[in-house]
């Protein structure tokens, strides 16, 4: 079995499963593979949207039926839930659509919405709209990324190895900086 075979046979399933909780990385890669011809845009978008909708629906039900228990175990979520509830009162449709684009609240947001008075059908409708929009935008970004990468590598073929090495170094530096800042934040919080 080679990579091409695995990607064409299980790519849509991987997109669906990864989109249940997060998915930006896998969708960006899927867009890149769409550009390369391994996957097709519409099935990938549907797989991502279905996975994203399912994940948010599960979190909504988690908040609806177990929200008060969660707040007892994670009291730090209480201010976020109260803030979300106030915003939902004024802008529920927009928040439901955009919650998946808000870094750090992709899972907590639907839980908080489930704890609110938003009806299930309203959440389901706007969750579907948000999931489709999210899948379309992130896949498109990945596709454009694939196109620009192809152009850069074709135009600067003799620099390809150097470009890849620089990209890897930059990614590693970003990861190390994020870990350092997280550790530093933990030390400040414990003091």
pLDDT of residue 160: 62
Count of residues making up the chain:
191
pLDDT of residue 188: 77
Q: Collapsing DSSP states into helix, strand and coil, what is residue 156? A: coil
pLDDT of residue 117: 83
d(CA 70, CA 171): 35
d(CA 116, CA 72): 16
pLDDT of residue 60: 93
Q: Cβ distance 156 to 148 under 8 Å? A: no
Q: Would the pTM of this model clear 0.85, i.e. be above it?
A: no
Q: Cβ distance 51 to 139 under 8 Å? A: no
DSSP 69-101: HHHHH-GGGHHHHHHHHHHHHHHHHHHHHHGGG
d(CA 45, CA 51): 10
Q: Cβ distance 29 to 142 under 8 Å? A: yes
CB atoms within 10 A of CB 121: 8
pLDDT of residue 156: 60
Q: Collapsing DSSP states into helix, strand and coil, what is residue 181? A: helix
pLDDT of residue 111: 85
* 10-residue stretch averages of pLDDT, the chain, 191 residues long: 76 91 82 86 95 94 88 79 75 86 79 87 94 92 74 60 74 85 79 66
Largest CA distance in the chain: 59
């Amino acid at each position: 079995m080679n990579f091409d075979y695995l990607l064409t046979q299980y790519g849509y399933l991987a997109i669906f499963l990864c989109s249940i909780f997060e998915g930006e990385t896998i969708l960006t890669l899927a867009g890149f593979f769409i550009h390369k011809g391994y996957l097709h845009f519409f099935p990938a978008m549907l797989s991502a949207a279905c996975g994203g909708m399912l994940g948010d629906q599960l979190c909504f039900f988690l908040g609806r039926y177990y929200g008060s228990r969660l707040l007892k175990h994670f009291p730090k979520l209480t201010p976020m839930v109260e803030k979300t509830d106030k915003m939902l009162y004024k802008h529920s449709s927009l928040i439901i659509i955009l919650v998946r684009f808000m870094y750090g609240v992709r899972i907590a947001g639907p839980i908080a919405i489930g704890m609110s008075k938003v009806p299930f059908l309203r959440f389901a409708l706007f969750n579907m709209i948000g999931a489709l929009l999210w899948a379309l935008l992130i896949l498109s970004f990945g596709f454009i990324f694939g196109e620009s990468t192809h152009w850069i590598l074709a135009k600067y073929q003799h620099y390809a190895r150097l470009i890849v090495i620089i990209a890897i170094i930059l990614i590693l530096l970003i990861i190390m900086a994020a870990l350092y800042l997280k550790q530093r934040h933990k030390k400040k919080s414990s003091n």
